[in-house]
Chain A
Amino acid sequence: MSYRSLSKHTPTLILMATYVALIAYLSISAEHFATSNNLLTILQTVAVIGIIAAAQTIVIIGGGLDLSVGSVVALTVVTVSLLEGKGIPIFWASCASLAIAALVGTVNGNAVTRLRINAFITTLATLSIASGVAFVLSSGHTNLIASSGFRVLGIGRLAGIPIPILILVVVFIATHVLLTSTRYGRAIYAVGGNAEACRLSGMDIGVVHRRAFLLSSLAAGVAGLILAAQLGAAAPQSARGYELQVIAAVILGGTSLTGGAGSAIGTLLGVLMLGTLRNGLDLLHVNFYWQEVVMGLALGLAVSADRLRQFRRPKGD
C-alpha cells in the first residue's frame, strides 16, 4: 500500500481501531455483551438507521444533505399500514409507499437543483411536510399491521440470519460498488469536491444531485418498510430524530460534511460504532441522562474530526 493510499484510508483505519477498542472494552466490562445473541441484536437494531445512512453517504459526498429521511420513514410506515388496513395487498401497499418516498426524493432533488434552494432548507421543509402528512393521514393514531407475511421482512431469518441484517449488508455492498466502481460514483465525488469545476467541464451536476436525493428517499422508504415489519405497528411519530442519528453515523464514518470525501465502509463503521455504543450503555445500565451526554460527545468528536480533516486536506484534493 502506497503512502498516499495509506494516508487516504487513515480515518477509516483509526475508526476501525477505535471500534475494536470499544468492543474489547465492552466485552470486558459488560457481562452479556460478547454473546452471539447480543451481537445479532446490535446488527438488527442498526439495520434501519444503517440503510438510510448508506444512501445519505452518497448525498453528503455529493455536497448535499437530506434532513427529510426520518419523516420519509414515518410517511412510509403510515402509508403501508393504512393501505393494508383498506384491504390493499401488502405487496402493492409497500410499492405505493416506496413510490411516495421516491416522490419526496424527486421533490428534494428538483427543488435543490432546479429552484436552487439550499439542500438544508429544502429537506427541512420536506421533513416537516412529510411528518405533517403522516399525522394527517393517520390522525395521529398508531395502527397495527396484520399481514404476517409482511412481518417476515422485519422479524424473519434466512439461514439463521435476521433478514434486516441481510438487507443492510446488501445495501452497503451496493453503495460501495456504486461509489467505487461506477461512473456515477466518480461523478458524486467530483461534484462534491468541486461542483464549479464539474459544471465548467460540462457535467450535468443537477442529474447527479437528483439521483442522490432519489436514492436517499428510496432507502428511507425501504427502511420504513423494515421498521414497520419489525414493530408490527405504524405510528406517525416513528423515526423522529433519525436524520440526526444518520448524519452522525455518516460523519463519524469519515464522510466530509462539505462533500467530496467519504466511503460506504466508513459509514458502516460509524453506524456500528453508534449502535454498539448505545447497546453497551444499555447493558452497563448507564443512567438515561448520561447516555444522552455520551452520544452527544460522540457526535461532537465526529464533527471535530471532520473539521480537522478539512484543515489538513490540501486544496484541490
Chain B
Amino acid sequence: MKTIIRALVLILALSVVSGCSKKSGPTAKYKIGFANLTEDATFFADVRTSIDRAAKKAGDIEVIMANNRMDGATALTNAETFINQDVDLAIEFQTDEKFGPAIMEKFNARKIPVIAIDIPHPGAVYFGANNYKAGLIGGEAAAKYATEHWGGQVDKVLSLELPQSGDIPAKRMKGQLDGIRKHIKIADRDILHLDSKNTLEEAQRVVANVLNTMPDAKRILVVTINDGTALGAIAALEIAGRKQQAAVFAQGADASARQEIRKSGSILIGSVAYFPERYGDHLIPLALDILEGRPHEKENFVNHVLITKDNVDKYYPGK
C-alpha cells in the first residue's frame, strides 16, 4: 500500500512539473533549437531570454531550449535531441572545439543549418564575441586608470580566471593582461593568476587569501573573467578594508555589474559589454535570413564597449 502511495505521489509531482512547463503552439512556421552554453551565469540567462523574446517578436517561431552544461558530450546529445525534434535550424552555444565537427556532422547529415556562437564550427554561420578584443579593451582601460590615478605604478595584478573552461576564457584573460602590459610595466611575479571557479564566493575566498600575502601593495588592479567574480573580489577587498587600494575591471556588464558601477564610490571602474540581452535581436533575424534563403554574413561579431559610470546611462538608460 505504501509503495502505491509513494508511486502516486511521484506521478502527481511529475504531472505538476510537466503541467508547469510551457507548451508551444503546434502551428509555428519554423522550429529553432537553441542550446545554451550553461545556465549558471547571468550572461547566459540573458542570451536565452533575448532569443526567446526576439522569437516571440518575430512570430511563427517555436524555440526549443537546451542546456549544454559547458560540456561537449552534453552538447552532442542535445544536438541529437534537436534532430529528433525536427528543428529547422540550430543555434549552438558550446565552447568545446573538439566536439564542433561531431556536432556539425550530425546536423549536416540532416541538412539542418547551424549558427555557432563564440566558437566557429565547420560549415556553420558564426555569431559571437571577440573574446580577445573584449579582454584587450578591459585591460587597456585598466592600464589607463593606473596611469591616471597611480602615475602608471601598479603593485599587483589579480587575474581572476576560469582555467578549467578552455580556450574562450583563456583568450579573454590574455587580452586583459596584454592590454595592461601594453601600457604598464609589470613583472610576471606581480601578476597573480587565481581560479575564480566562476562563483562569487570562490572569487571572494581566493582574493581574501591572497590579499594577506601582499600587505604592502597599495595599487592593485583586478581583472576578472566576468561580472560575478568581480563582485566577489570587491567583497573580499571590502572585508579586508582595502577597497581604496584597488580598481576592478570586469567582463560582461550585466545588470548586477551596472548596478555596482552606478554606486557612489564603487571600485568597479568598468566592465566590457557583450550585450547578451541583444543576442536574440541579431540571432533570430540571422536565422530567418538563413531559413528563407536571403543573403547573410558568414561571420557576425558583437561590438564590445567598455561600460563605465560615464556612459552606463547611454547604453543602458534607467537599467
Contact = CB atoms under 8 A, between A and B. Distances in A.
B42 interface: yes
Given A117-B6, A231-B232, A41 B40 contact: no
Interface string B193-229: 0110011110011101111110100000000000110
B212 A144 contact: no
A38 B236 CA distance: 13
A231 B201 contact: yes
Contacts of B228: 142, 233, 235
Interface stretch (B112-120, B140-148, B254-262): B254-262
A216 interface: no
A31 B213 contact: yes
Given A135-B39, A141-B256, A238-B199, A45 B45 contact: no
A194 interface: no
Nearest to B49: A139
Interface string B1-43: 0100110010000000000000000000000000000011110
Interface stretch (A89-97, A176-184, A282-290): A282-290
B200 A41 contact: no
Nearest to A141: B42
Interface string B251-285: 00011100110000000000000000000000000
Contacts, number: 115
A32 B256 CA distance: 33
B235 interface: yes
B123 interface: no
Given A115-B9, A283-B213, A142 B235 contact: no
A159 B199 CA distance: 31
Interface string A3-34: 00000000000000000000000000011100
A278 interface: yes
Given A233-B256, A239-B201, A41 B212 contact: yes
Contacts of A32: 212-213, 215
B45 A139 contact: yes
Contacts of B195: 288, 291
Nearest to B200: A231
Most buried by A among B5, B45, B200, B235: B200
Contact of B41 (A35, A143, A237): A237
Interface string A272-311: 0000001100110100110100000000000000000000
Given A240-B199, A288-B163, A288-B195, A140 B210 contact: no
Contact of A232 (B5, B9, B227, B235): B235
Nearest to B213: A32
Interface string A129-141: 0000001000111
A232 B45 contact: no
A278 B199 CA distance: 16
A227 interface: yes
B256 A144 contact: yes
B152 to A, nearest CB: 26
Given A141-B42, A144-B260, A238-B199, A231 B231 contact: yes
B210 A283 contact: yes
B210 A141 contact: no
B212 A38 contact: yes
B126 to A, nearest CB: 25
B101 to A, nearest CB: 27
B42 A45 contact: no
Contacts of A227: 201
B238 interface: yes
A141 B231 CA distance: 13
Contacts of A116: 2
A155 interface: yes
A155 B238 contact: yes
Contacts of A123: none
B58 interface: no
Contacts of B254: 141-142
A135 B41 CA distance: 10
B231 A233 contact: yes
B41 A231 contact: no
A45 B208 contact: yes
Nearest to B6: A115
A106 B256 CA distance: 33
Nearest to B47: A140
8 contacts: A32-B212, A38-B212, A45-B208, A115-B9, A232-B231, A232-B234, A235-B199, A237-B199
